[in-house]
Every structure is written in C-alpha cells, then in structure tokens.
Amino acid sequence: MSLYLEYVAEIETRKNDLGLAPKPIDSADLIAEIIEQIKDKENQYRADSLNFFIYNTLPGTTSAAGEKAKFLKQIILGEFAVEEITPTFAFELLSHMKGGPSIEVLLDLALGDDAALATQASAVLKTQVFLYDADTARIEAAFKAGNVVAKDILESYAQAEFFTKLPDIAEKIELVTYIAGEGDISTDLLSPGHQAHSRADRELHGKCMITPEAQEEIQALQAKHTNAKVMLIAEKGTMGVGSSRMSGVNNVALWAGQKASPYVPFINIAPVVAGTNGIAPIFLTTVDVTGGIGLDLKNWVKKVDASGNSVVDANGDVVLEEAYSVATGTVLTIDTKAQKLYNGDKELVDVSSAFTPQKVEFMKAGGSYAVTFGKKLQTFAAETLGVTAPVVYAASKEISHEGQGLTAVEKIFNRNAVGVASETPLHAGSNVRVKVNIVGSQDTTGPMTCQELEAMAASTISPIVDGAYQSGCHTASVWDSKAKANIPKLMSFMNKFGLITARDPKGEYHAMTDVIHKVLNDITIDDRAIIIGGDSHTRMSKGVAFGADSGTVAIALATGESAMPIPESVKVTFKGNMKGHMDFRDVVHSTQAQMLKQFGGENVFQGRIIEVHIGTLMADQAFTFTDWSAEMKAKASICISNDETLIKSIELAQSRIQIMINKGMENEAGTLKGLIALADKRIEEIKSGTNPALAPDDAAKYYAEVVVDLDAIEEPMIADPDVNNEDVSKRYTHDVIRPVSYYADKPVDLGFVGSCMVHKGDMQIVAQMLRNLEKQNGSITFNAPLVVAAPTYNIVDELKAEGDWEILKKYAGFEFDDAQPKGAARTKYENILYLERPGCNLCMGNQEKAEPGDTVIATSTRLFQGRVVADTAEKKGESLLGSTPLVVLSTVLGRFPTMAEYKSAVEGIDLTKFTPPTEEMTTKFSGEAVPVKMV
C-alpha cells in the first residue's frame, strides 16, 4: 500500500471517528509521492494531491518542506509546468515557508544567473527574517564578490524593510467578551494535562479546550459579531496560571485568533485574553510569541469603608465590588493609540501595559520570534555593509537609578545583557536581551518545541548555550501507546539537535525519567546563570530560572538568547527558630501565609522575583522553596547562599553530572564535561574571593520585604484549593494555607510523596517514619494508599546503597520494574505502599490520577481542578498539599493526624533543618558597578 493511500485511510479515520480534517504533512516520502501524482495529469488523486501540497504541508525545516521547496524551484525554473501553480504563485508559496529549505531555494535563484528570477527571488527574500548563519554567509560572500543583488538584499535588511513595510496594528480593535471562568484560570482549563499527548496535533488538541459547549458558544459569538475578536476572560482572577502555556495559547488562538498563513493549517496567531487581575507572567510571554494581546481589566476592585480600609468578609477575605461589567457578549473597543478600553464612548480602563513599544512590535510582526530574528538580521546586514543601522525597533528599555544598588536578579541580568548601550547598571523595569546559559525541554511540551524549531528553520543548538536537557519525566509513569508514539521521536530530534536526552535514541544507556527540574538544578552550576525551561516549575536554586512556553524554549535553544524585562524583587528573610517537629515545607507554606497577612491580602510575590536569603540550606533542599514560588505566582525565585554552602551545592551538582557521564549520556559536543569545567572555575572564583557567591547590594531597592517568623510555625501547614468555597472565584487558588488542626478527623483517600518538591531527604524521612511507626506499633498497616516516586534514579541508587530502600520495599505492595514498565495507568488503588519509578507521576495528571472524588494529601505542586484528582457528581476531588511526614502519617491513619500523633510519629527523625543566617547577606554598594555586556 502506498504512503498516500495510507494517508487517505488515516484521513477517513480522523474524519469519521474524531470529526477532524486531514493531519498536516511533515513527511518527505509522503509529499514526494504527492508531487509525482501532481505531475501525472491523469492521476485520479491529482486534485487532492494539489490541495495537500499547497495547503496542508508543514513549513520550516520539516522534511516535507524540503521536498516542497525543491518542486517549487523546478516550477520556477520551468523544469516542470503545473497549470495550477504558476512561477509567481510558487514564489508566493515559498514566502510562506518560514526559512530552511525555502531560503536555500530563494538564495539559489536570487544569486543565480537569470536576472528576472533573481529580481523576483530577492523581492521575496526581503520579506523573510528566519535566516541562519549558513544563509547569511552566502549573502555576505556574494556581496564581497560584487553581486549587486546581494548588495540590494543587504541594504533592505539593514533598513529592516521586512518589518517597516508591514502594516501597523489597527487603531481600533473591536472585541466581544467571553468569560471562560470565574477566579484564576489555569492553563489546564485551556489545555488539560491528561490530553498532553495530542498537543503537537493542533486541531485534535484544540477539541479539549474548556468544554465542547464553550467552543460552540465562542463560535456563536463569532458568527454574531463578525467584526469583533472574541476575548477570553478570567473573571475575578488571573488568566493563565499553570504550566500548559503554549498549548493553551495555541488552543485559544485556534478558536479565537486568526490564521498565520492561508497555506499553513491550524497555526493561528493574535488571540486576545484578559483577566480581572491580568495575565500570569509566563502566559503573557507566550501570548507575545503569537503577537496576541493580554489585558489587565481591573474590573473588580477592593471595597473600602469610609476610612479607606479594605472591607473583609467573615473568612477575612477582602470583599470585591464590580467597577464595570464584562459579562459574556459585551462589545468593547480597544483604542490602541490612546491605549484605553472602551464600552461605546465610556472609558473603562487604561491598557497601556499591553501596548508597550515592544509588545506593539510583536503584534505588528505576527509574534516575538520575528522581532528577535529581525533584529539579528538587521545588525548582520549593517555590519556587513559597514553602515550604521537606523533605529527601527523600539530601543531596549534601559533604566538606571544613580546611587541605587542592585538586587540579585539585577546583577544577573546585567551580567548576561546583550547589546546594551548604557554604561551604568540597569535596574528593574529595563527590557533587554540576555544570554541564556541553561535550557530545559520537557516531554509533554517537547513535541511542540520541535515544531517551533522546525518552523523557525533551526537545525542545531546555539553554541553559546552552556547546556540543555530533554526530559522524559512527564510520561514516566506509564509506557503506553501514546508515549511509545511520541517520546522516541522527540528524543531522536532533540539528541540530533544537540541536547542531552533522557532517553538514548540508540538505546545504549538506561532510560532516565528523572524529574526535569532536578536535572536542571544539577546541571546549573553557576549562581549567576539564566535558565529557561518548558515548565512553570523551572525555578532553580542556583541562578535565576524562568518557566517558559515551548516556543520560548525553542528560541533559547536556537539563538541562546531571550528578551525580557528585569523584574522587581521581593526580599524574604527569616527570624526565630524552626521547631524540631516542623519540616521545611511548612516554612515554605508559612511564607505565603505570613506574606499575605503582612500585606493585607495583597500577593506582593505575583509577577516578581522572590529573593530568599536562605544562607546555609543547600541547593537540593532550597529548591523546595524556589519550586513553590510558581504557586505563589512569582515570576521566579533566587536563593542567596553563603560561600561555603554554594561550594557544597556546586560540588554535589558536579558529582551528579559525572553520574550522567558515567551512564553514557555525554554528547559529541562534550556538554557535560564542559559543565564540570565551568563548575571547577566557579568554585575557584568563590574560594579565591575573586567572585564570591551572588548577593544583592546593601543599597538595593525592593518592591517589598517579607520577614518570616519561624517561631510562629507551630503545626504542619497545608495548601488547600478550597474547593467548596461559596465564592467560586476563590476555589483552586494557591493562597489558602491552613494548619493541620483545621482538618481534624478529615478522612484521607490517597497520599503522594514525589514530584519536584521533594529531594533525597524526603525519601529518607519516609524510611525513618516507617521505622518509627514499626517500632511504636509492631507493624504498619496502611489505611489509605501511599504512592512514593523518588525524583531521580541516583536517589534510588543511594537509598539502596545506604539501606533505606530496604524498608521501603518491605512495606511496598508494588515496586516499579524498568524491564517491564506499566502499560496502562492505574485506575484503582489498594491500601498499600506503591514504589513508583522516578518521574512526575500524579503531579502531572496526564497518566496517573487519583480516583475521582478522592481527598489527596500530597507533596506535589498541583492544586488545579481535575489535574491530580477529578470530581464526581457527588464530591469534588481535593488535592491538599503538605510535607512528607504529614503525607506518610495520614495514609497510615487514613485521616489527618492530631498534633500528638504527628509529634510521636516524627520523634527523633531528622527533618529538613533550617537555621536563618545570622549575618546580612549583602555586598557593599560602591556606586561604580557597570554591567558586563555580552557582544
């Protein structure tokens, strides 16, 4: 059977079973067969083949795009005539293929001997921005050889005509509102984790956004308001909290955006999203990738009394009152010149934050990628011609305050800044390009990152990236048909691209399903590094890490750069003493509770950097704090360590990188050995005093300062999604922190110790608690299931070597077997201990889940509705988050413990200790610091 007939059969299956259009083509072999059918005028499939060739072939560097570009070149050269594709139309099709093979063809023609074709090809090239070194090297060589067409192209590039000749954004943008949900809207609503396997199939994945009923309502609004864009809104909440950012934005754009190209299927751009409290920072970056608009509506405001004080309800929550209505179906207008939102003639709110010069450029260019590549192309052309490039793009926003010291994040950004003009230090609010040191891609967003890399015609990792890793942790729990279809292909692509991959495409080393954040935390060896990762919990305890969408990950991999503003910081310090029965996770939860109390309910962490002065807590344990900062809606977190602790953390990272080398994971570029060498250099800098551990200046300025009182933490603290709150907008937020005594006698249906929030110490605590309970009671019976998943294999190996695995295994009713991994997700649980393979497990919710309606107590990070546990008609599923010892004891009891039971169970156990640093962890501001600008 031919590939084409197999494709036709797949089309029928998709149409009949799923109601879908034909899947976009990325295969060279299939498109080659389609081309042969186009050439045969009598072929019965010729008409459909033409349609597939023109409208259903993926662009960029897909192998299909290579075949398509070659055939278009044949048509242009007159080597083959196709009545339906004239040479002029062939040039138009090439112009929509976004780089790679299409650029190669256009350069062949532009630099060839046929003057007429060269003119046409150069006209198309002048509109293109996705050029790489091999492409620009050809133009430069031709220019130096006296080629006038090359000179003409360079002059156009130097003027950035590919940008300046684009139409400006509309002065008035009509909108019609659609309230997608009340309260914070998680990206899980837009792109559910359990549908992660389909994210690369955009039309199929689009079917899972919100509900089918919501999709119909959006389409009805579009039909009724043909001149307006549907704006999805988080009423009384923040839009886009969570991790499924690119797929979430893709889905919103698919239903409420516009087509990027008439010749590229199911790739839409320019959606409009909004929230009462604006857009989650990482989600907003992803909106920028598509050239979309994200509005901060401020349509609900705090109610105040006659004295100007906030009015609170019986629960102590601030009462909100409506400033203006955005009920579904309301027609609004954005005036992009005045940067105001209107209802008719009535001004509602200033939206200037959504229309900064940089964001307007993204909208004009169709997305942030085109601006990034355009700037590089303009710089190249000007330097090649020996001219000064005119100022076309909005200048990097460079803010410097005389006499003001630098926070930790300001120091990192100054060190990594690219192309900065300022000769004085940059402060928060500056918007610059920065070098990215470490990049991480995870396995449920990785297929989309591959698509983005192909679309921007990238073929290899940027040489300025220190290290990059492709994980396998989000699909670790179940090696099912979906994982088998997606993961090997992903690992092969990323391995070839230049990443260290969790799975070896050749099968020569053991598949490593270690949690991505733990691996990134280990391969980050510099406390001044910038890390970009395809997950919201990319929040390393060395350097500053930003969770990002799959597209931003792709741009970082391809260019080694990212553009972003320097965020404001909130300083967190500690006082008092941590009680012996408390775990560090309780400190983390209390930080959030005490912060909200100190600032009258305002979450000062949201959208900012949490600079936590952690002192002597090593990176492995400090990661528990930085990781949780995602749930605090912070942009990132930075740990300030003393010199001795930082050295120990880097040495631990070195040892774990060496384990990766020993396993055979090193690549041809020697990335891992390079990281070890960088670690040696950093350790020597610290020991010699030439460059101590990162610390802010004593004259640094913070948005706020939070002091956490350790003496006030008396009980284990639980983060609660408050699923039964009468105010729907307050459900599934991450701000409800309660002591364990609040849950007296509450039954527990399942416990989970795992995810990125735990480290080796947590696994040791599980073992120690089992020994304690065994000693106290003679034996242990679980009254609720307990799932334990170590975050990494090296932790499992160390537990086995040190004896702790033995007692875990003794009480385990299930132990993972890599030789025979599970082929199906568990749907029912017994009251036993499950020892699962390293990975995300229940935290991700795309494979393993608790039984619907369960009350789960977990060390995880997920409070999103339906992620860890779905609802039933009778009961809402609850995912309560707490410390490891609390989870273990709750499953043994089948309910939450009393304080007496808890203290007895942890007696003598060495829980994660933390002592606040006694010294000020700052450097003396000299007033002379100058940013080290990258060239």
933 pLDDT exceeds 60?
Answer: no
Local confidence band at 728 (pLDDT 50, 70, 90 cut-offs): confident
Whether 11 contacts 22, CB under 8 Å: yes
242 pLDDT exceeds 80?
Answer: no
What is the per-residue DSSP string for 247-259? HHHHHHHHHHSEE
pLDDT at 418: 85
Residue type for position 506: K
Local confidence band at 730 (pLDDT 50, 70, 90 cut-offs): confident
905 pLDDT exceeds 60?
Answer: yes
Burial 71-101 (b: 16+ CB within 10 A, else e): bbbbbbbeeeebeebebeebbebbbebbbbb
Whether 229 contacts 221, CB under 8 Å: no
Nearest CA-CA partner of 750 in 654, 827, 850: 850
Residue-wise pLDDT tens digits, 550-608: 888 999 999 999 888 899 999 999 999 999 999 999 999 999 999 999 998 889 998 89
pLDDT at 194: 80
Overall average pLDDT of the 528-549 stretch:
90
pLDDT at 231: 98
DSSP 353: G
* Residue 126 burial (CB count, 10 A): 17
Overall average pLDDT of the 143-161 stretch:
97
463 Cβ contact partners less than 8 Å away, ≥ 6 residues apart: 560
Distance of alpha carbon 721 from alpha carbon 709, whole angstroms = 24
Average pLDDT, whole number, for the chain?
92
Secondary structure, 3-state, 827-880: CCCCCCEEEECCCCHHHCCCCCCCCCCCEEEECCCCCCCCCCCCCCCCCCCEEE
Local confidence band at 131 (pLDDT 50, 70, 90 cut-offs): very high
Overall average pLDDT of the 693-711 stretch:
96
Residue-wise pLDDT tens digits, 646-688: 999 999 999 999 999 999 999 999 999 999 999 999 999 999 9
Determine which helix (DSSP H) or strand (DSSP E) holds 45, and give its type and residue range: none
1 pLDDT exceeds 70?
Answer: no
Residue-wise pLDDT tens digits, 226-241: 999 999 999 999 999 8
Nearest CA-CA partner of 494 in 540, 527, 534, 460: 460
Residue-wise pLDDT tens digits, 253-290: 999 999 999 999 999 999 999 999 999 887 898 899 99
Local confidence band at 928 (pLDDT 50, 70, 90 cut-offs): low
929 pLDDT exceeds 50?
Answer: no
193 or 326: which leads in pLDDT: 326
Distance of alpha carbon 887 from alpha carbon 785, whole angstroms = 11
pLDDT at 934: 40
pLDDT at 935: 33
Residue-wise pLDDT tens digits, 792-845: 999 999 999 999 999 999 999 999 999 899 999 998 999 999 999 999 898 888
935 or 844: which leads in pLDDT: 844
Residue-wise pLDDT tens digits, 351-407: 999 999 999 999 999 999 899 899 989 999 999 999 999 999 987 788 999 999 999
930 pLDDT exceeds 60?
Answer: no
User: Worst-scoring range by mean pLDDT, 212-226, 303-317, 854-868?
Assistant: 303-317
Determine which helix (DSSP H) or strand (DSSP E) holds 441, and give its type and residue range: strand 438-441
Whether 853 contacts 871, CB under 8 Å: yes
Whether 857 contacts 893, CB under 8 Å: no
For the chain, the distance separating the N- and C-terminal CA atoms, rounded to the nearest angstrom, is 55
Distance of alpha carbon 898 from alpha carbon 890, whole angstroms = 10
733 or 122: which leads in pLDDT: 122
Residue-wise pLDDT tens digits, 818-828: 989 999 999 89
